[in-house]
Amino acid sequence: MLLTVNQLWGWRGVTGRRYSTAATVALICAAVVMTAPGAAYASPSPPSSPAAPTPPSDASLEKVRKEIEKLYHDAGVATDAYNAAEEKADKQSEQIVKLAKDIAKGEAKLKKLKARAGAAARAQYRGGGLPDEARLMLSDDPGQFLDGAGRIRQGEKATKSMLTELDRTQDDLRIYAKDATARWKKLEANRKAKAASKKKIKKKIADAEKLESRLEKKERDRLRKLEEEAALKKQSAWVSSGILDDIGGKATPQGKKAIEFATAQIGKPYVWGAEGPGSYDCSGLTSKAWAKAGRGIPRTSQEQWKRLPHVAVENMRPGDLIIYHADASHVGIYLGDGAIVHAPRPGRDVTIAGAGSMKILGVVRPDK
């Protein structure tokens, strides 16, 4: 009896791998023995079906979970770099536009000054360019001459002032042009940095999605459960430390407005580089929430950590920002009672989570 091609080749398991070469050889050998000439046998039983593929264990799924977590963390770091480069590029573009306007005004002013200087030179030429002493000797009326001489000195003073202003305007234009060139170079550098970060973000997210797509649906569900269990374990340890016993601050009016805005975004998807209204990344949510509360804060979680006032965890109050991970690559808004609202990562929506479900770096206060 001959085996089918599928039986000889083996069956696919949940991971997409086939049986080993040894198993395949064993099946082929069995087929050869069963079909050899002169072989005596009676009513051979059909070959047994291959054993059902073994699903991955929780230990292997946990390894996958940690690998996916790292990939999304790296994508978050790259997202912060992308946002920072974009923010700098926007500011530099604004500065370049302002410089361009200053240069245009300077050139118009320079044109007028040159016209005035030319008119003064032509007037002096028509007057013969005689020195004051000669004019005094040739004048029939010394008093009239002295009046004219006063006006001449005033004119000379005005001309000198005009020439000084002309030189200063030319110097300003040279400075503007030099500054604009330097800012163009920085703008180009930030554009390249942004493009590099964008490429890295896409790769990390694609790698994470590819890793997760290899799993069956029930395994992806189990992976999601493992994520929740890991977060709950960290949150429980944080709460068990007694930290909430010391946290009792009340939200300010601005803090309440920031919380109200952020919680209204729950259910909207995380999209890297997004700051609303349909989607957000982590710092896009926090910066927009505080902007709606009337307080502009830095765009990225790393800059929020660097530039906003720090407060001790036990002194935090609702509305404060909790910064996560050693590289300050994630941020959420503290709601009180040990919870935050945040935009977690690609593939997830804005949601409420435990404030201690991730490694806390520190707390900053936008409205101190």
Kindly list the domain boundaries of the chain, sorted by start residue.
1-53, 76-207, 244-364
Residue 64 · residue 216 · CB < 8 Å: no
Average pLDDT score over the chain? 79
Residue 20 · residue 222 · CB < 8 Å: no
Is residue 356 scored above 90 in pLDDT?
A: yes
3-state secondary structure of 343: coil
Architecture of domain 244-364: Alpha-Beta Complex (3.90)
Q: Which residues contact 263 (CB under 8 A, 6 or more apart)?
A: 335, 341, 352
Which residue out of 73, 310, 325, 330 is catalytically annotated? 330
Residue 71 · residue 208 · CB < 8 Å: yes
Residue 131: per-residue pLDDT? 53
CA distance 202 to 178: 37
Is residue 187 scored above 50 in pLDDT?
A: yes
Give the residues across from 331 on adjacent strands.
Answer: 323
Is residue 357 scored above 60 in pLDDT?
A: yes
Residue 273 · residue 80 · CB < 8 Å: no
CATH of 76-207, one of 1.10.10, 3.40.50, 1.10.287, 1.10.1750: 1.10.287
Is residue 64 scored above 60 in pLDDT?
A: yes
> Considering only 100-104, 230-234, 288-292, which range has the smallest mean pLDDT?
100-104
Comparing 4 with 321, the larger pLDDT belongs to: 321
Which residue out of 29, 73, 310, 342 is catalytically annotated? 342
> Considering only 71-80, 95-104, 151-160, which range has the smallest mean pLDDT?
151-160
Q: Which residues contact 244 (CB under 8 A, 6 or more apart)?
A: 337, 338
Mean of pLDDT values over 256-281: 97
Residue 37: per-residue pLDDT? 40
Distance of CA 154 to the CA centre of its chain: 60
Mean of pLDDT values over 180-202: 89
CA distance 297 to 279: 19
Residue 355: per-residue pLDDT? 97
Which residue out of 73, 282, 310, 325 is catalytically annotated? 282
Residue 24: per-residue pLDDT? 35
Residue 73 is a catalytic residue: no
Residue 150: per-residue pLDDT? 57
Residue 40: per-residue pLDDT? 39
Q: Which residues contact 340 (CB under 8 A, 6 or more apart)?
A: 322, 332, 333, 334, 352, 353, 354, 355
Comparing 140 with 199, the larger pLDDT belongs to: 199
Is residue 185 scored above 50 in pLDDT?
A: yes
Residue 250: per-residue pLDDT? 93
Report residue 169's pLDDT band, with 50, 70 and 90 as the boundaries.
Answer: confident
Mean of pLDDT values over 138-162: 59
Instruction: Respond yes or no on whether the N-terminal peptide bond of residue 37 is cis (omega within 30° of 0).
Output: no
Q: Which two tokens stand for residue 134?
A: 């000669």
Q: Radius of gyration (Cα) for the chain, nearest Å? A: 38
Residue 330 is a catalytic residue: yes
Is residue 28 scored above 60 in pLDDT?
A: no
Is residue 241 scored above 90 in pLDDT?
A: yes
Residue type for position 64: V
Is residue 326 scored above 90 in pLDDT?
A: yes
> Considering only 121-135, 307-321, 327-341, which range has the smallest mean pLDDT?
121-135
Is residue 182 scored above 50 in pLDDT?
A: yes
Residue 310 is a catalytic residue: no
Tell me whether the CATH fold assigned to 76-207 matches the one assigned to 244-364.
no
Is residue 348 scored above 70 in pLDDT?
A: yes
Tokens 């797509």 appear where?
Answer: 213
Indicate the pTM of the whole model: 0.67
Residue 335: per-residue pLDDT? 97
